[in-house]
Amino acid sequence: MNNDKLIIGGHEFNSRFILGSGKYSMKLIEAAVKDAGAEIITLAVRRANTKEHENILDYIPEGITLLPNTSGARNAEEAVRIARLARELGCGNFVKIEIMRDSKYLLPDNVETIKATEILAKEGFVVMPYMYPDLNTARDLVNAGAASVMPLASPIGSNKGLATKEFIQILIDEIDLPIIVDAGIGRPSQACEAMEMGAAAIMANTALATAGDLPMMASAFKQAIEAGRKAYLSGLGRVLTRGASASDPLTGFLRD
Amino acid sequence: MVKVNGEPKDIAGKTIAEYLATTNYDMKRIATELNGDIVPKAQYGETVLQDGDSIEIVSFVGGG
């Protein structure tokens, strides 16, 4: 397990839990990062506040890789613009592309996401596109230079779990990049299931932000993700099509 | 007039550095865009704002 690294764009990580930082107090970030064991945390870019307001960077521990998203972008052009601003903020060259055209379902626009991936990969970004799990799109993202593919499990913030399970499995089986399940994972058991399927990592935000005890839930997710990873690496036991199979010897019965 | 994060301000003729000196932004934590193009920090002192310009000043916030 010690050699089991998550590699994204040539960067190695031990943790397979990518933590969101939205919708909860900045004061909880340090505890969340620690209890999640997270090494990557997502952020958004917005119009700046002045110094009377706290800045989130003051709350993120040293050594954590920042993954700015392009939320707010409605097309590739806007996503590229936000990504460039994020890089100008001076915290590395990772970017999670997030392009949405509607505010009701918040579904990613796969076509625009491919376009933005191609532009930003050429500019040297480590591009992690959030996408609707579709094999053709995923292949286009690979060709466009993505460093990972981030399919949604269910609508953002819904905590509904692996609604797209079959399609995520196809991506895991066919795409030679880390498949990071993003959006909709609401419970540790769902994170564990995705990891058992062979997902490379899990990204979660709302599941923690809306939990009763955020740091404790971060810890629960950490354990579930590690359990699922171990199960995947170990190889799951087979499932019988029908019938039963005794675990006990079928000889030496105390009868006759 | 120059638009700063959507708000019109009477700062045409000033450099970006001169304008920022009148504000309370944390200089280490912002990035600036002028009419859609990023202005590197090293150019704040030489970039003069013109009437009709639009600048965006951004920073990181919590997000997923």
Structural domains of chain A in order of their starting residue, each with its CATH number? 16-233 (3.20.20.70)
Write the ipTM. 0.94
Domains contained in chain B, number: 1
> Within a domain: residue B64?
no
pLDDT at A53: 85
Strand-pairing partners, residue B48, are: B15
Q: How far apart are CA A229 and CA A226, in angstroms?
A: 5
pLDDT at A255: 87
User: Mean pLDDT in runs of 10 for chain A (256 residues)?
Assistant: 90 97 91 94 94 88 95 97 95 96 94 98 98 98 98 97 98 98 97 98 97 96 98 97 94 88
Active-site residue, from A96, A122, A165, A230: A96
Rounded to a whole number, what is the distance in Å from the CA of B21 to chain A's nearest CA?
Answer: 12
> Within a domain: residue B44?
yes
pLDDT at A185: 97
Q: Which domain holds residue B10?
A: 2-58
The pairs formed by A155-158 with CB atoms below 8 angstroms and a separation of 24 or more are: A155/A105, A155/A106, A155/A107, A155/A183, A155/A184, A156/A106, A156/A183, A156/A184, A156/A206, A156/B64, A157/A106, A157/A183, A157/A184, A157/A205, A157/A206, A157/B64, A158/A184, A158/A186, A158/A206
Residues of A with CB under 8 A from a CB of B: 20-24, 26, 29, 42-52, 55-57, 66, 68-69, 71, 81, 84-86, 88-91, 156-157, 183, 203, 205-206
Contact A44/B23, CB-based, under 8 Å?
no
Contact B31/A85, CB-based, under 8 Å?
yes
CATH number of the domain encompassing residue B18: 3.10.20.30
Q: Is B7 on the interface with A (CB under 8 A)?
A: no
pLDDT at A1: 64
> Within a domain: residue B14?
yes
Environment class of A124 (CB within 10 Å of its CB; exposed 0-12, middle 13-18, buried 19+)? exposed
Say what the pTM is. 0.93
pLDDT at A228: 98
Asked whether the predicted pLDDT for residue B21 surpasses 70, the reply is yes
